Amino acid sequence: MSMKKFPEGFLWGVATASYQIEGSPLADGAGMSIWHTFSHTPGNVKNGDTGDIACDHYNRWKEDIEIMKELGVKAYRFSISWPRILPEGTGRVNQKGIDFYSRIIDTLLEQGITPFVTIYHWDLPFELQLKGGWANREVADWFAEYSRVLFENFGDRVKHWITLNEPWVVAIVGHLYGVHAPGMKDIYVAFHVVHNLLRAHAKSVKIFREIVKDGKIGIVFNNGYFEPASEKEEDVRTAEFAHQFTNYPLFLNPIYKGDYPELVREFAREFLPKDYKKDMEEIQERINFVGINYYSGHMVKYDPKSPGGVSFVERDLPKTEMGWEVVPEGLYYILKGVKDEYNPEEIYVTENGAAYNDVVSEDGKVHDQNRIDYLKAHIGQAWKALQDGVPLRGYFVWSLLDNFEWAEGYSKRFGIVYVDYQTQKRIIKDSGHWYANVIKNNGLED
Ligand code: IFM
């Protein structure tokens, strides 16, 4: 039997995010986040679900780390809730919030699991939203202050940091589509938010360099693999626009090349801050790695009546429970593209995974062969990218646990561990056992 072997020291991980798993959002002096207020607003989240209980990880984190240990994972990517640390967003530090994450970090290290901390995975303090949130230019300083508190408290033990998770989703899904918190629909605000996210990211990196001398810092992007519906110039250009606007180029072009990508500049010139260029030097702060989240591919064609001229063409491909087309080779092209276009020092797949309609069988197990197939195909593409010289250092499954899938609530299960939301019982799915084997073998069996 042949093996797709990964390099020694390859970091096999699992990923989660604070609001999606923790529950107890207001415990121990935490302030409200925009996801607390958004999910408590009737009509925003499917079935009226909120993160009030979620996976009760706030109380069960020890058990969850034991599960990671059992799976043999080498790294755990999780996020810190800003309003647990700074209930008002700036100023007063909540020691109980620091203590909560400090215990998790210590326990991970005791178990030999490398912590990857995401500083912001969408739970902005509500107090800051009242001041305009990500649309206010001052947010870059607020984020820098919050980052400093984290580096000072955890930088001695955490050596891998991620400033932002999926800034495109923050800006566009939160401020243009209105589907995520804070639920706005304004294209001017959305592009001001894009720009402020980049400024905030860069300020955080700068402070990191002062405080955590021996650590690495990066940023994580959502990506879809866009293919044109035909070879017509207008369709090819539409696919390229969708790529530049939705994927890593929107942020990596400013970070590595000092301006937004060409087709974004053409489209969004009016929506961006008039004097945005004056910030570009500051935005080019050096990062250590790029994190790639990848789930799906899309076929697109030009349609002047669609927003941005982009119309999606549904294909007869297998789909996950999210309705997302399964296109494993897209992961290869995205990884290769990042390397060829920006040549970062290191790349991680920081999220990859699938939602399926899991059921607990009579034998008490969850037989999710569809998720195994999905993961296997995608890990195979990550391996292929490595063979082609992509500096891929690790791969994180989204997600360790079934959890709160934002506007979809608990209706979508992404975990390799099943969560019974009535009892909070965890069951390692077949995919979890399969992934444990991949980690043990440091590779895929063909
Ligand atoms: O659950 C999300 C995660 O928070 C960010 N990336 C995509 C996942 C699946 O939608």
Whether residue 346 is predicted with pLDDT greater than 80 in this model: the reply is: yes
* 354 Cβ closer than 6 Å to some ligand 1 atom: no
The structure's pTM equals 0.99
Whether residue 314 is predicted with pLDDT greater than 70 in this model: the reply is: yes
Binned at pLDDT 50, 70 and 90, residue 2 comes out as confident
* 351 Cβ closer than 6 Å to some ligand 1 atom: yes
Question: What is the sign of the dihedral through the CA atoms of 367, 370, 372 and 373?
Answer: positive
Distance 234 CA to ligand 1 centre (A): 31
pLDDT, one tens digit per residue, over 175-185 is 999 999 999 99
Mutate to test the pocket of ligand 1, among 39, 79, 166 (most ligand atoms within 8 A of CB): 166
Please identify, by atom number, the ligand 1 atom nearest to the C-alpha of residue 405: 1
Instruction: Read off the pLDDT of each residue in 363-387 and give the average, rounded to a whole number.
Output: 98
Of all residues in the chain, what percent carry a pLDDT higher than 90? 99
Residue type for 191, please? F
How far is 307 from 233, CA to CA, in rounded Å? Answer: 18
Please identify, by atom number, the ligand 1 atom nearest to the C-alpha of residue 351: 6
From the list 286, 335, 346, 404, the residue with the least C-alpha distance to 17 is 404
Interior/surface letters 148-169, b for 16+ CB within 10 angstroms, e for the rest:
bbbbebbbeebbbbbbbbbbbb
Give the domains, in start order, of the chain with CATH numbers.
3-445 (3.20.20.80)
**Which neighbouring-strand residues pair with 76?**
14, 115
DSSP-based three-state secondary structure for 117: strand
Mutate to test the pocket of ligand 1, among 77, 164, 293 (most ligand atoms within 8 A of CB): 293
Alpha-carbon separation of residue 286 from 99, 205, 257, 308, 340 (angstroms): 31, 8, 11, 31, 18
**Per-residue confidence (pLDDT) for residue 31, from 0 to 100:** 99
Instruction: Read off the pLDDT of each residue in 2-6 and give the average, rounded to a whole number.
Output: 93
How far is 390 from 332, CA to CA, in rounded Å? Answer: 9
Distance 91 CA to ligand 1 centre (A): 30
Whether residue 245 is predicted with pLDDT greater than 90 in this model: the reply is: yes
Whether residue 317 is predicted with pLDDT greater than 70 in this model: the reply is: yes
How far is 265 from 261, CA to CA, in rounded Å? Answer: 6
Count of residues making up the chain: 446
Contact 190, 172 (CB under 8 A): yes
Distance 121 CA to ligand 1 centre (A): 10
**Per-residue confidence (pLDDT) for residue 446, from 0 to 100:** 75
* 17 Cβ closer than 6 Å to some ligand 1 atom: yes
The tokens describing 387, both together, are 């063979």
From the list 7, 137, 133, the residue with the least C-alpha distance to 82 is 133
User: Beta strand pairing status for 425-428 and 417-420?
Assistant: antiparallel
Asked about 127 being catalytic, the answer comes back as no
How far is 306 from 293, CA to CA, in rounded Å? Answer: 26
CB neighbour class for 43 (10 Å; exposed up to 12, middle 13-18, buried from 19) = exposed
Instruction: Read off the pLDDT of each residue in 276-290 and give the average, rounded to a whole number.
Output: 98
The tokens describing 130, both together, are 């009242």
Instruction: Read off the pLDDT of each residue in 409-433 and give the average, rounded to a whole number.
Output: 99
* 398 Cβ closer than 6 Å to some ligand 1 atom: yes
Contact 394, 12 (CB under 8 A): yes
Nearest CA to ligand 1 atom 10: 405
Asked about 351 being catalytic, the answer comes back as yes
Nearest CA to ligand 1 atom 1: 405
pLDDT, one tens digit per residue, over 320-344 is 999 999 999 999 999 999 999 999 9
Nearest CA to ligand 1 atom 2: 405
Whether residue 96 is predicted with pLDDT greater than 70 in this model: the reply is: yes
Distance 233 CA to ligand 1 centre (A): 33
Distance 240 CA to ligand 1 centre (A): 23
DSSP annotation of 241 reads H
Whether residue 413 is predicted with pLDDT greater than 90 in this model: the reply is: yes
Peptide bond into 399 cis (omega under 30): yes
* 123 Cβ closer than 6 Å to some ligand 1 atom: no
How far is 264 from 276, CA to CA, in rounded Å? Answer: 13
Contact 245, 264 (CB under 8 A): yes
Contact 75, 69 (CB under 8 A): no
Distance 323 CA to ligand 1 centre (A): 14
From the list 277, 171, 160, the residue with the least C-alpha distance to 219 is 160
Please identify, by atom number, the ligand 1 atom nearest to the C-alpha of residue 353: 9
User: Beta strand pairing status for 216-228 and 11-15?
Assistant: unpaired
Whether residue 358 is predicted with pLDDT greater than 80 in this model: the reply is: yes
Alpha-carbon separation of residue 267 from 184, 242, 281 (angstroms): 20, 11, 22
Instruction: Read off the pLDDT of each residue in 55-78 and give the average, rounded to a whole number.
Output: 99
**Per-residue confidence (pLDDT) for residue 310, from 0 to 100:** 98
DSSP string of 166-182, one letter each residue: -HHIIIIIHHTS--STT
List 22, 166, 227, 325, catalytic entry: 166
Contact 96, 415 (CB under 8 A): no
CB neighbour class for 340 (10 Å; exposed up to 12, middle 13-18, buried from 19) = exposed
How far is 92 from 34, CA to CA, in rounded Å? Answer: 19
CB neighbour class for 312 (10 Å; exposed up to 12, middle 13-18, buried from 19) = middle
* 402 Cβ closer than 6 Å to some ligand 1 atom: no
Binned at pLDDT 50, 70 and 90, residue 209 comes out as very high
How far is 265 from 201, CA to CA, in rounded Å? Answer: 20
Contact 192, 273 (CB under 8 A): yes
C-alpha torsion angle, residues 54, 321, 80, 35 (rounded to 10): -70
Q: Give the list of residues 6+ apart from residue 157 with CB closer than 8 angstroms, or none.
A: 105, 106, 109, 115
What's the mean per-residue pLDDT of the chain?
98
**Per-residue confidence (pLDDT) for residue 1, from 0 to 100:** 61
* 396 Cβ closer than 6 Å to some ligand 1 atom: no
The owner of tokens 């109980």 is 96
Distance 404 CA to ligand 1 centre (A): 9
